[in-house]
Each structure stands twice: as structure tokens, then as C-alpha cells.
């Protein structure tokens, strides 16, 4: 099952993505984490040490062929690509990184996006694996169709107007992609007023409300210390809320695997 997280900058996508990956891995799922941000931070949020993070390889654009039927596809088996170009983080999470700009004025990242799209597509052949991509704070992944292969798009929002507006725009673009399920997670919720605003927003725009993560000083302190939230406050309210979301994703992943096996005649 393939899950993509999107939303406005600063909404908390990377913290939630990293925590989800590790909670799901602890639950027994093979997890592939993709940092789909051209300014990558997922490695540090997962707890990969600075030296390993700095040395982590990027997905080379030579891995993708646009000539294959059905759009961009990998030129090598997906398991080989993840093994060769990924690094292993805490709890066994396998992390791969989209390319970032190497120099100023060198042009767009079109090929990097195509490579991630191809990887997402081919990972669909491993239904027992949960793939999670942490997207950059931009609708570019939607306009390029980078996440067209996602089975679930999680839109992370703060309970404020501008963050909700960003989610609305991304959700509108997602309607034009073959993503079967789109839901919203409210993050940094301080009170019932904020929580209610997000629920009403979801009802108004026909979006599934997947849950909420409360405001917690644990998140701020963990970030200041450079420690993953899951390690800094494993019993805190934020981790508890993200763990509930992981449970929802885990249930969907089980159902997805069963459906895939049935479709193959197994």
C-alpha cells in the first residue's frame, strides 16, 4: 500500500511521516519511506544519524524509462532499486531520497519527480509493503502526477484558514488523479474550536476526516534537541494520536493486501 502526505509548509508532515513509518514498522510492516522533498529532512526526523544522513544517496534519474507502456517505469527491479539506493533507519525503515538541486540555476527537477513516480508505481507490486512518501510543501507533486500511484493521500493541516486553503487546493488537484482515497489529518490542535473547524471543513468539501494530533510541547522540544518525536516522547499525546492514525493505515494495508492477493487469484 502506498501513502502520500501533503499539505502547507510547517503543517507537520515530516514529523507525522517519520513517526508513522516507525510505528508501522514496529507493527510488523515492511516500510519504505520516500523523502519527496527537494529540501530533504525525513532522514533526521526518522533518527538517521547526521553522518549517515549526509551520505545518503539520491535516486538517480537514470533509473527511469519514459518509453515503457503506462508512463515512467524503473529500468531495474524495484527491490534492487530500494536495496541499492536506500539506507536503513531506526526500526528497519528503508529510506530513499528524491534528488535535490546540486547547483543554482541548473533547471527544474522534472526527472527527479519522474523517478519517484516510477518508484511509487513499481512498489505497487509489493502489496505487503507500506510505502510512505513525505511530499514537499507545494502542489507540484500533483501537477506533475508524481503521486498518481498513491492508494491513500493524507492531507495534513493546521486548524487555520491558510493551511486549510492549501489543503483545499491540493484536494482539488487530487481529484484529477486516480488516487482512490483522500483524507485529512488535523495537526497542532489546541482546542475543540480548532478541531470542529477541521471537521466542518472536511464535511463541506467531501473529504474524509482521518484524525487529529493535538498541540504538544513534546514536538517542539524534540525538534530543538534534534531527536525524533517517537524517541523523545514515546508516551506523549502526539505519538498516541499518530499511532492511532498508523492503526487506520495498517487496517487499510491489510485490506489492500487481501484484495491484491484475490485479484491475482490467490
Domains in the chain, start-ordered, CATH in brackets?
A: 2-263 (3.40.50.300)
- How high is the pLDDT of residue 103? 40
List of the chain residues with pLDDT < 70: 66-71, 99-109, 265-266
Grid coordinates in use for 52? 549517515
Contact 127, 257 (CB under 8 A): yes
What is this structure's pTM? 0.92
- How high is the pLDDT of residue 136? 87
What residues have CB less than 8 Å from 3, skipping those under 6 apart?
Answer: 20, 130, 131, 132, 133, 150, 151, 152, 153, 154, 249
Give backbone dihedrals phi and psi of 200, rounded to 5 degrees, phi first.
-65, -35
DSSP reduced 3-state for 131: strand
Question: Cα(24)–Cα(47) distance, rounded to whole angstroms?
Answer: 15
- How high is the pLDDT of residue 159? 96
Amino acid at each position: 500500500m502506498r501513502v502520500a502526505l501533503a499539505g502547507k509548509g510547517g503543517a507537520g508532515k515530516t514529523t507525522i511521516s517519520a513517526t508513522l513509518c516507525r510505528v508501522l514498522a514496529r507493527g510488523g510492516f515492511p516500510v519504505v519511506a520516500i523523502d519527496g522533498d527537494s529540501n530533504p529532512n525525513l532522514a533526521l526526523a526518522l533518527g538517521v544519524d547526521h553522518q549517515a544522513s549526509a551520505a545518503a544517496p539520491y535516486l538517480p534519474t537514470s533509473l527511469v524509462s519514459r518509453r515503457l507502456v503506462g508512463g515512467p517505469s524503473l529500468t531495474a527491479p524495484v527491490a534492487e532499486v530500494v536495496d541499492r539506493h536506500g539506507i536503513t533507519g531506526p526500526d528497519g525503515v528503508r529510506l530513499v531520497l528524491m534528488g535535490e538541486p546540486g547547483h543554482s540555476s541548473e533547471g527544474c527537477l522534472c526527472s527527479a519527480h519522474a523517478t519517484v513516480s516510477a518508484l511509487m508505481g513499481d512498489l505497487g507490486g509489493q502489496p505487503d509493503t507500506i510505502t510512505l512518501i513525505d511530499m514537499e510543501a507545494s502542489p507540484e507533486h500533483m501537477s506533475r502526477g508524481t503521486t498518481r500511484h498513491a492508494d491513500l493521500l493524507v492531507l495534513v493541516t493546521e486548524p487555520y484558514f491558510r493551511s486549510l486553503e492549501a489543503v483545499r487546493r491540493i484536494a482539488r488537484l487530487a481529484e484529477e488523479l486516480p488516487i482512490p482515497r483522500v483524507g485529512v489529518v488535523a495537526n497542532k490542535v489546541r482546542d475543540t474550536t480548532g478541531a470542529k473547524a477541521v471537521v466542518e471543513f472536511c464535511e463541506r468539501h467531501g473529504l474524509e476526516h482521518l484524525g487529529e494530533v493535538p498541540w504538544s510541547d513534546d514536538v517542539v522540544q524534540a525538534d530543538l534537541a534534534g531527536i525524533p518525536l517517537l524517541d523523545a516522547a514515546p508516551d506523549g499525546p502526539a505519538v498516541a494520536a499518530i499511532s492511532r492514525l498508523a492503526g487506520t493505515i495498517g487496517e487499510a494495508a491489510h485490506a489492500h493486501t487481501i484484495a491484491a492477493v484475490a485479484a491475482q487469484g490467490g
